[in-house]
Amino acid sequence: MTDRAALPEPAAVLPGEASILAQVVSDLSDETTKLVYADWLQEHDDPRGPFLREFLAAVRTDEPLPLSEGLSKPWRDLVGVTITEAARTHGFADRIETFLKVALPTIRVTPSDAPVVAPPIARSRYGGRPDLPADVEWPRWTNGKPLTFLGQIDLADLTGSVVARELPPAGLLSAFYYLNENDDDLYGGPRRDGDGNETESEGWRLFYFPPGAVLRLHDDSDAPTWSRFQSHPLTFDERIELTFDRNGWYGVSELEGAEWDRYVDLVSSVNAHDECGDRLLGHFQSDEWATRFGRTGRSLWSIGLTGNRPGLWGDFLTRLHILIASGDLHTRRFDRAGLEAEWLSS
């Protein structure tokens, strides 16, 4: 068990609520499922039930929406309140159902402000030294130099999250990336042939260690000091996300000009891409990613490279996106995940 609240404000708070809320999240445009959920909440004397029923009626009749202030942000996101409010604010009341169909749940990842000197073994954090099984060596690139340890996530920290049901209930995800301040191959990544097959070892690694793996704090003496980062514990919260990708999404692809600009403002107000922006799951934000991993693929883990997240030499690489096809996510084939880098626009 963790000694801190890694998921301090889950959307589902009542016994048995997570299962029925998961049905709502699976299709936010389905009003019938939401009404069943509202009845269930009301039967449990939860004020969210009457609110949700009133909210849905206001959307249906185009009446003013009841105020949602005072209700938790994760819950408002996962039942579609946030998107509905934003759609009305930005002049898209006629597209609410479409946007709800496009939306995907995500988990925002937030590092602590203050570093921790000696974090417990196998806990969620950025930086420090990785926790690895004794038979797993610190990964290296083809030039023999060690990859930089970015961070790890204890999936048990997400217990109680409706969104995290797509992930294993426990185990450790651990991410490494090649950063070297003096090499021409500064931002190493996989080389691929025309069919997308890797032709040499990757400049990054994602490990998944299942529950029961015996982990110990690992060190690598030749990892340069500048590539090591202080440990920052992570906390998580559930959010909803829309896509900036207009290719292939019905109701989004035809937006042009000023209407597209308003949609971008709407997405920016809804998504968890704030001053941190790190997240688990959620949408691809590029059509190229969907081409490579399939339209139903997910952005497994997005890691920023500034602030209290792993820092790096240089000013141009801002975020790493670990991507995975839907089938590989469901079968836990994390070894088949891919990597895309987000660069600072000039």
Predicted TM-score (pTM) above 0.75: yes
Domain ranges of the chain: 108-237+278-343
The answer to whether the CB of 300 falls within 8 A of the CB of 218 is: no
The answer to whether the CB of 334 falls within 8 A of the CB of 173 is: yes
Q: How far apart are CA 178 and CA 316, in angstroms?
A: 15
Q: Does the pLDDT value for residue 199 go beyond 70? A: no
Q: Which residue did the predictor score with more confidence, 74 or 227?
A: 74
pLDDT at 250: 53
What is the CATH code of the structural domain delimited by 108-237+278-343? 2.30.320.10
pLDDT tens-digit map of 137-181: 988 888 788 888 999 999 999 999 999 999 999 999 999 988 765
- 215: pLDDT confidence band, cut at 50, 70 and 90? confident
In 3D space, the residue among 179, 172, 140 whose CA is nearest the CA of residue 156 turns out to be 172
The answer to whether the CB of 161 falls within 8 A of the CB of 107 is: yes
Q: Where does residue 206 rank: exposed (0-12), middle (13-18), buried (19+ CB within 10 A)?
A: buried
Interval 247-269 mean pLDDT: 77
pLDDT at 196: 56
Strands 131-133 and 148-154: unpaired
pLDDT at 218: 83
